[in-house]
Amino acid sequence: MMQSRARLLVVSPHLDDAVLSCGLLLAANPSAIVCTVFTAPPPENMSTDWDRQSGFTDAFEAMQTRKQEDIRALQKLGAQPVHLSFCDAQYLLTPSPDDLTGALRRTLNEHSPENVFFPLGIFHSDHTLVSDACLALIDVMPDTAFHAYEDVPYRQRQEAVSERIEELTKRGYALSPTTDVSAPVNAFSAHEQIKREAIAAYASQLRAFGPQGQSSLYSTEKYWRLQRASS
C-alpha cells in the first residue's frame, strides 16, 4: 500500500484539476508536489468566454488571480505548487508535444517523485496533450510509478473513460485500477472536508461552473496504474 511518506507528484493541466480529481489523495499525502502546466497569460491580453464567466475582465487578471487561488488551495492540502509557463488552449498558443514533454521531464527529474499522477486525458484538448506528454515519460523513467487519474468533471461524459482506456490499450499501455492510493477509511471524513475547503479556494472557477456544474465536482476519485503492456 502506498504510504504518505512516498514522494508524490500530481500533474495538473489547469489551475484546479489536481484538486478536483485528486484532492483526497493530496490530503492523504502531505508535502506532495502539484505541477500545473497551463498557468501563463498570453503574450498579448485578450478576453475569453471562460474568463468572463469566471468574473474576469481579461486574461492577465484571470491568470494572476487563478495562480493565487491555486496557492491557497494547495496550502490547505499541504501541497507545494509548481507552475509551468505554458498557455492553455483558450489563449491560442498551445505548446508542442516535445516542448511539454521536455518541461515535464525536467520537473520530474528535479523533484524525483516515486509516484506520478497525471490526467487520463478525457475530452479537453489540454488534458489530452498533458496526458500524452506524461505517457511519453513512462519508457524513459523506469524507476517511477505512473498513475492516471480520471479527469473531473469530464469523466461524467458518457463512455469517455472507457473510450480513452481503449485508445491507450491499443497504443500499447496496460491499465489496472488502483484502489490503495487514498486515505485510510477512518481518515476519509477529515480528508473530504479538507478537499472541499481546497475546492472552495477556486472561487472564480466555481463561478464559471455554476450550480449545476459544481454538483459533479465531488465524486469518488479513481486511478489507474499505467505500464507498458508485455509483448
pLDDT, tens digit, for every residue of 32-64? 999 999 999 999 999 999 899 899 999 999 999
Strand 8-12's sheet: what is its strand order? 80-83, 33-36, 8-12, 115-119, 145-149, 223-228, 173-178
Output the nine-digit C-alpha cell for 42.
Answer: 498570453
Which carries the bigger pLDDT value, residue 231 or residue 67?
67
Residue 4 has pLDDT above 60, yes or no: no
Judged against a pLDDT cut of 90, whether residue 189 lies above it is answered with no
Say how far residue 190 (Cα) sits from the centre of its chain. Answer: 22
What band does 97 get if pLDDT is binned at 50, 70 and 90? very high
Thinking of the domain 8-228, which architecture would CATH place it in?
3-Layer(aba) Sandwich (3.40)
Strands (E), 15-164: 33-36, 80-83, 115-119, 145-149
pLDDT at 187: 54
Higher pLDDT, residue 173 or 185: 173
Please give the share of the chain, as a percent, with pLDDT higher than 90. 58
How far apart CA 36 and CA 193 sit, in angstroms, is 23
- The residue among 199 and 4 whose pLDDT is bigger is 199
- 202-230 average pLDDT score: 80
pLDDT for residue 178: 84
Model-level pTM?
0.89
Quote the cell numbers at residue 108: 520530474
Query: Distance between CA 189 and CA 191 in Å, rounded?
Result: 5
More confident residue, 150 or 3: 150
Mean pLDDT over 167-180 rounds to 86
Phi, psi of 15 (to 5 degrees): -80, 70
Helix (H, G, I), strand (E, B) or coil at 147: strand
Window from 121-130, 149-158, 159-168 with minimum mean pLDDT = 149-158
Collect all residues with Cβ–Cβ distance below 8 Å to 118 and sequence separation of at least 6: 10, 11, 130, 131, 134, 146, 147, 148, 149
pLDDT above 80 for 176:
yes
217 vs 74 pLDDT, higher one: 74
Higher pLDDT, 161 or 11: 11
Provide the mean pLDDT of the chain: 87
Going by pLDDT thresholds of 50, 70 and 90, the confidence category of residue 179 is: low
What is residue 123's predicted lDDT score, i.e. its pLDDT? 85
| In the predicted structure, residue 124 carries a pLDDT above the cut 90 | no
